[in-house]
Structure 1
Amino acid sequence: MIRKITFLLLFSCLSIPVFSQSNLKTENVILITLDGFRWQELYTGIDAGLMNNEEYVENQDHLKELYWAENPELRREKLMPFFWTTIAREGQLYGNRNAGNHVNVTNGLFFSYPGYNEILTGYADEKVDSNDKIWNPNKTVLEFVNEQPEFAGKVAAFASWDVFPFIINSQRSGIPVNAGFEPVEGTELTDRERFLNELISEIPSPWGTVRLDAFTHHYALEHLKTDKPRLLYVAYGETDDFAHDGDYEAYIKSANQTDRFIRQLWEFVQEEEQYRGKTTFIITTDHGRGTEPTDQWRHHGADVDGADEIWIAAIGPDTPALGELGESGQLYQNQIAKTVAELLGLNYQNKVVVGDAINTIIQNSN
């Protein structure tokens, strides 16, 4: 009898369906991250104290002319116009703590590799405790999706930080990950890809491990055009590095440029038959930053108050237009992976329990 029960339990575990029963319009997902971009700027726009601080901004009048307004709603729209003219009207935004809506990291470390592991696997792993180039032992939702026959070969990632091949474990997963200063490879490159490959070695980056986001963006856009992935991950990185440098002007301008990049991706998918009306964007960040004392905006980590505070945005055919979510909301970083999978009709599980899907993002979720 004991053997029979054990067998039945094992059979039950092995029989968990990969495909969910959801009846969704979404057939493609684009997951996007902005490294270390604070919820404060997303929801209230440029920070007056930092903007007027000579230590962090050289050309204060110029920055004020571009992004300042007395009203925080106007300020945030100046800074992130796509978020506030399109996502806020057609999608959803979470994490405005001033409105009582919270999104938090659960890994306890509040820096990049642990954050991206949590985003992509759906759980925090205490063994992922550095930013070192170590092959991730954990399977990401990207790898899980790529294992399904319907999606095999239709998953890809483009990232500015050169650690991403290790985070996604491209060696084991087989997922193409173009990151850092590596050119794209292939026998049938487009003219633009060949041009980008030339420029990437000719235009110096301010950092040794992070390329400029324009390369990441245009490589990803070309891949969308030519390879038509079903799940694409785009990881922009400049905001975090400019913040660490203490360059608030560059941090702000990079965020504004990234907003334009995301708009370009969104407008492209609205023009393509495969993607139009069938694609959901999920946008988030790996960690927050400090606020007090003032210099803490440059930093994050377990000893920085507020570095666990993040945000999430979503827009797509199965995401009701709820706009900015208000009071009594609490979401976590570990919920993103399962949300991505469920939007694709998949029942994502891993070796440990993962965070629940965000049901408000998925209108027809069962």
Structure 2
Amino acid sequence: MKIIILLAICVCVKPVFAQQDKSPNVFIITTDGFRSQEIFNGADSIILSNPLYVKDTALLKQLFWDSNVDERRRMLMPFIWKTLAKQGSIYGNRDFDNKVLVSNPYRFSYAGYNEIFTGYADPAVIANRKKWNRNDNVLQFLNEQEMYKNKVAAFASWNLFDYIFNKPGSDFYLNSGYRNIEHDSLTATEILANGIQEQSVNNAAPTRNDMLTFVTAKEYIQTKHPKVVYISFGETDEYAHSGKYDEYLQSAHMFDEYLAQLWYLVNKDPFYRNNTSFIITTDHGRGQKSNTWVRHDMFTAGSKNTWLMTLGRQFENKGEVKTDDAIYSEQIAQTIAHLLGYDFIANHPVADAISLNASIKNP
């Protein structure tokens, strides 16, 4: 009789847990300062041939150059153009007057990430400084909701994310820069990653190697199963500022590989399969010309131009979007909240969510 009662309880309880497991998941993934030119056109032939920016121009051309633009961009970012373009949507190809832009006038990283996650292009965010962000962010907002409490996690190569997310006022899991991985029951991989970080010759730098960020994030995802995940890569911007176009392209190519591995991970894991959306973007653009691509600021043309990709069943599959339209980075925060069934309320104005069928703003 006890066994029958226990079985009956299990039958009754199971649908409740199944319903909880059906609450949607979202991954937000960024790579810092990566130009839309390379996303949509592949390697730039002028920069690619310039020994000032490329150590071995012949080799880099073998890796990333083809006269056909479709083939060229597939060589640089195969997952994006072979898989994501077929299953998701890619916004920001200005050749078709499709635009993705930052709203903040400064066009540097702190301002860009603040805009993405707070939904507010705060005019007071004027420098990449270690200053606690006064603006509410959508990750902390979600971490305060019952369904997502303690199920939000962020991983960033750049250590300034402690300040962007106002770590003293945020209690979701955050690992940024070369900080050691710290949580209950570290895995062997996480212990090894900590050892590598401690021995790294660059561990005093503000930006961690992207591979370490990826390994750290992937291991946590597989063991802890957070429902809201943010992963920020930084090497594209670091190499661009250094004028290393070869390393910039290699970092972008690796970013594409990280996306492929993450998409495979969520599709093989029952916890995430068929219930996880990807939002992929960047914090700012860069100079459009072969002599300005290394920088970005309010005076450099192209710095406001970004791009956006969406993937997952909650998004309409549009492929490469070729309509005359505009999306702004400040719309992403509310879009994340709406995907999960919430309206993001903050201590500041929040831009409307992105309409995936029509533009909300005009540039």
Q: Please report the TM-score for the alignment, with normalisation by the length of structure 2.
A: 0.90
| Alpha-carbon distance in 2 for matches of 1:143, 1:311 | 25
Secondary structure in structure 2 of the residue aligned to 1:350? coil
Structure 1 pair 168/302, CA: closer, same or farther in 2 (3 Å)?
same
Q: Matches of residues 1-366 of structure 1 in structure 2 within 5 Å?
A: 27-205=24-202, 208-292=205-289, 294-360=290-356
- Structure 2 stretches lacking a partner, 5+ long: 1-21, 359-363
The answer to whether the Cα contact below 8 Å between 2:266 and 2:276 also exists between their aligned partners in 1 is: yes
| Alpha-carbon distance in 1 for matches of 2:48, 2:180 | 36
The answer to whether the Cα contact below 8 Å between 1:284 and 1:311 also exists between their aligned partners in 2 is: yes
| Alpha-carbon distance in 1 for matches of 2:294, 2:23 | 37
Greater than 4 Å deviation, 4+ residue runs:
none
| Alpha-carbon distance in 2 for matches of 1:350, 1:94 | 27
The answer to whether the Cα contact below 8 Å between 1:26 and 1:317 also exists between their aligned partners in 2 is: no
Output one character per residue of 1:169-226: Cα deviation in whole Å (capped at 9) or x when no partner: 1211112210111110124000100010001122333982101100111100011011
- Structure 1 stretches lacking a partner, 5+ long: 1-24
Structure 1 pair 215/296, CA: closer, same or farther in 2 (3 Å)?
same
| Alpha-carbon distance in 1 for matches of 2:348, 2:73 | 38
Secondary structure in structure 1 of the residue aligned to 2:304? coil
Secondary structure in structure 2 of the residue aligned to 1:261? helix
| Alpha-carbon distance in 2 for matches of 1:308, 1:332 | 10
The answer to whether the Cα contact below 8 Å between 1:289 and 1:306 also exists between their aligned partners in 2 is: yes
Output one character per residue of 1:273-320: Cα deviation in whole Å (capped at 9) or x when no partner: 11000000000000000023x221000011111100000000011112
Question: In the alignment, what sits opposite 1:15?
Answer: none
The answer to whether the Cα contact below 8 Å between 2:135 and 2:348 also exists between their aligned partners in 1 is: no
Instruction: State the shift of 1:340 in Å.
Output: 0.8
| Alpha-carbon distance in 2 for matches of 1:361, 1:45 | 27
Output one character per residue of 1:7-54: Cα deviation in whole Å (capped at 9) or x when no partner: xxxxxxxxxxxxxxxxxx761000011100000000000000000001
Q: Please report the TM-score for the alignment, with normalisation by the length of structure 1.
A: 0.90
Instruction: State the shift of 1:104 in Å.
Output: 0.8
| Alpha-carbon distance in 2 for matches of 1:350, 1:162 | 24
How many residues are paired up? 337
Structure 1 pair 111/337, CA: closer, same or farther in 2 (3 Å)?
same
| Alpha-carbon distance in 2 for matches of 1:343, 1:274 | 17
Output one character per residue of 1:330-360: Cα deviation in whole Å (capped at 9) or x when no partner: 1101111111111111111223332221221
CA RMSD of aligned residues (A): 1.4
Identity of aligned residues (%): 42
User: Quick one: which amino acid aligns to residue 297 of structure 1?
Assistant: W
User: Quick one: which amino acid aligns to residue 274 of structure 2?
Assistant: G
The answer to whether the Cα contact below 8 Å between 1:110 and 1:308 also exists between their aligned partners in 2 is: yes
Instruction: State the shift of 1:137 in Å.
Output: 0.7
| Alpha-carbon distance in 1 for matches of 2:74, 2:352 | 31
Structure 1 pair 339/361, CA: closer, same or farther in 2 (3 Å)?
farther
